[in-house]
Amino acid sequence: MERFLRYLAAKAILLALASSFVSCYDPSPLQDFCVAVDDANGVFVNGKFCKDPKYVKAEDFFTSGLNIAGNTINRVGSNVTNVNVDKIPGLNTLGVSLVRIDFAPGGQNPPHTHPRATEILVVVEGTLLVGFVTSNQDNNRLFSKVLYPGDVFVFPIGMIHFQVNVGRTNAVAFAGLGSQNPGTITIADAVFGSKPLIMPEILAKAFQLDVNVVRYLEARFSSNYDRHY
Query: Is 228 one of the annotated binding-site residues?
Result: no
Give the count of beta carbons closer than 10 Å to the beta carbon of residue 66. 14
Query: Is 119 one of the annotated binding-site residues?
Result: yes
Q: Is the dihedral of CA 64, 69, 73, 76 positive or negative?
A: positive
Please, which residues have CB within 8 angstroms of residue 207's CB and are 6 or more apart in sequence? 214
Buried b / exposed e along 85-112 (16+ C-beta atoms within 10 A): bebbbbbbeebbbbbbbbbbeebbbbbb
Query: Is 161 one of the annotated binding-site residues?
Result: yes
Which one, of 160, 181, 188, lies nearest residue 116 by Cα?
A: 181
Binding residues for Mn(2+): 112, 114, 119, 161
Binding residues for oxalate: 109, 114, 119
Binding residues: 109, 112, 114, 119, 161
